[in-house]
Amino acid sequence: MPDDVEGLALIKPAVRAQAGYTLSAPAAPRKLNQNESPWDVPPALKREILAAAEAAPWQRYPEFAPPELLAALADRYGWTPEGILVGNGSNELIQATLTTTLEPGDVVVAPSPTFSLYRLLSGVLGGRYRPVPLGRSFAYDVDALIDAAVRERARVVVLNSPNNPTGSALPEGAVARVLEETGALVVCDEAYQEFGGPTALPLLRTSSRLVVLRTFSKALGLAGLRFGLALAHPSVAREIAKAKLPYNVNVVTLAAAAAALRHGEALAERTRTIVEQRARLVARLSALSALDVFPSAANFVLIRCRRHPAREVFRRLLDEHGILVRDVSGTSELAQCLRISVGTAEDVDAVADALAGILEDAP
């Protein structure tokens, strides 16, 4: 390995200035840190997926998007197949959307706190990222977002709803207002929408400045196979497609997406169960005086520790109870906060009981 770092000087300063997206987490019996489904894909569905993948010719490149899959997606989301792009997770489509829109110096407006990838990708592409603080209890401040977008002449406004890591959902009519009152491309990341909150999908019929992102990683439980989609006006979708890598979705994932759509109702029952367990988790945690529990429309709940340091609570959950949650307390906005994925009924009881025991001796 060369001792010098001459090659580093050739990396764009805008890239070197960014903190990379990483997640290093220990193993734990109860894994409640990544907002995943607590249930694996049913065995029968796995066999169906693997049989379809086995029948595909592996020496051939996959189709960019099989027409029958696009038709099924169009039926599920109520949009035209010509306006649907598929990706290796929705993150790839966030990247493609920003790549095709941002010139160096262009402004991206987004709520804060939110998914860190928006800032990272904006910076890598030479954009200027302008975070707009969420309001009380992390509710969306739509007026502030619009004011910032107009003042900064934003090229793109990114709205994550329900928002990660806060769980906040946009109020009804908010996306329509942002479209009407700004000239920006509005990107609605709806990775968690199946768990609650309004959707921007109907607005695709009235605005070509809207891109809606969805994923199969959360409600449909396919995080390990990485499948996402973007929905936009067909003319906009064609341009975004130019920034995607060719053959970006492999044959196994294409088969899995098609099978998940065929079994949508069975998987939707799991989503309803998560929503029920979220309500139980919120109720149980709200009974603990040492915690602030924030409203959530997603498959996770954000809490703030009032007395014990969040890092200590995180460590004790892991070391004493084998429960891994997400420590998000590293910024001033999320000081003393932990994020807890909603799991099974047993997971909910385990984490609520553990927190009660840890916090009961708080001064």
Omega before 295 within 30 of 0, i.e. cis: no
pTM of structure: 0.94
3-state secondary structure of 348: helix
Taking the C-alpha atoms of residue 217 and residue 344, their distance in angstroms, rounded to an integer, is 17
Helix (H) or strand (E) holding 126: none
- pLDDT computed for residue 2 by the predictor: 61
* CATH number of the 43-262 domain: 3.40.640.10
3-state secondary structure of 186: strand
Give the start-to-end residue ranges of the domains of the chain.
Answer: 25-40+266-359, 43-262
- pLDDT computed for residue 3 by the predictor: 64
In tens, the pLDDT along 95-144 reads 999 999 999 999 999 999 999 999 999 999 999 999 999 999 999 999 99
- pLDDT computed for residue 8 by the predictor: 83
- pLDDT computed for residue 1 by the predictor: 60
- pLDDT computed for residue 96 by the predictor: 98
- pLDDT computed for residue 17 by the predictor: 85
* CB distance 31 to 347 below 8 Å: no
In tens, the pLDDT along 302-336 reads 999 998 999 999 999 999 999 999 999 999 999 99
Q: What angle separates helix 345-359 from helix 264-286, to the nearest 10 degrees?
A: 20
Q: Where are the alpha helices (DSSP H) in the chain?
A: 13-16, 43-55, 67-77, 90-101, 117-124, 142-151, 174-181, 234-241, 251-262, 264-286, 310-321, 345-359
CATH class of 25-40+266-359: alpha beta
Low-confidence ranges of the chain (pLDDT < 50): none
Neighbours of 78 (CB within 10 A): 12
